[in-house]
Every structure is written in C-alpha cells, then in structure tokens.
Amino acid sequence: MLTDAHLPIRDLPSGLPHFFKAIPDKDGQIAGMVGLELYGPYALLRSLVVHSTFRNRKTGYQLVQHAQKYASEQGVKGLYLITNTAEGYFERLGYNRVERNVVPKEIQETQQFQGVCPSSATVMYYRL
C-alpha cells in the first residue's frame, strides 16, 4: 500500500511499532494506515495512506486523529511530518509549515529528515 502511494519504506522500523491501520469492514481489507516514530516529547507522523476505494470517507482524518491521541498518551507534545504532496490536507487538519532549521534535533536526525524525503519537501508541525 505504501509502495503504491510512492511513500518511502526503506526506513520503516522492524515490526512497525506505533503504526495503525484502519479495517472498516468484515472482509478485513486494510483501508489505510499511518505511523509514528516517537522521540521523547516529539514524534514524526509518517506513512499516511488511504486505499483509493476508501478515500473521501474520512479514513485519513480518523487515522491522523488516532495517531495524535496515541502520541499524546505517550507524552508527546508536538508532531512533525514531512510531505511532498499533502501540505494542503495537513493544513486543513491544523498542521503548520515550519522551516527545517527550527525542527528539534531528535526529528532532524531521523532517516526521513536526513535523506529519505528530499530537502525540498515541506516540514509541518502540530502542537498537541
């Protein structure tokens, strides 16, 4: 699903801890997924993808809401994300664009930040 959406997979953590999937019906088809990488008071929101047959049903919104709630329960105070294509979507969810140089060291040192995502990608922040 991530590969089909052209999202990076080479840096996924083994076992996918802190990744969540939506399975909306009895046939067990995965409608979407989202992941978090936790770094103390910060987290990297990543890999949000919704299967094409489940788009426009608030699946992405529900996944992001679940990830935000989970992050808050883990003591996270702020979420960062890096996107090439979904800036407008995340702005509608309350995320704000930030300059790369103000991102905390913990997030700057992630593989996503260091090179998996291009330096031209948009970095966004959401305060929990």
**CATH number, domain at 81?**
3.40.630.30
How does strand 78-83 pair with strand 122-127?
antiparallel
Of the pLDDT bands very low, low, confident and very high (cuts 50, 70, 90), residue 76 is very high
Structural domain tally of the chain?
Answer: 1
CB 69, CB 75: distance < 8 Å: no
12 domain residue, yes or no = no
Domain coverage including residue 73: 19-127
58 domain residue, yes or no = yes
Among the ranges given (6-10, 62-66, 77-81), the one the predictor scored with the smallest mean pLDDT: 6-10
Q: State mean pLDDT over 64-75.
A: 97
Of the pLDDT bands very low, low, confident and very high (cuts 50, 70, 90), residue 57 is confident
Better-scored residue on pLDDT, 7 or 45: 45
Q: Using CB atoms within 10 Å of the CB of residue 96, give its burial: 0 to 12 exposed, 13 to 18 middle, 19+ buried.
A: exposed
Mean pLDDT over the full length of the chain: 89
Q: Residue 120 is which amino acid?
A: S
115 domain residue, yes or no = yes
Q: What pLDDT does 87 receive?
A: 95
Among the ranges given (35-44, 59-68, 113-122), the one the predictor scored with the smallest mean pLDDT: 113-122
Residue 28 Cα distances to 17, 18, 25, 95, angstroms: 20, 20, 6, 31
60-62-63-65 Cα dihedral, nearest 10 degrees: 120
CB 33, CB 21: distance < 8 Å: yes
pTM of the complete model: 0.87
9 domain residue, yes or no = no
Q: What pLDDT does 25 receive?
A: 67
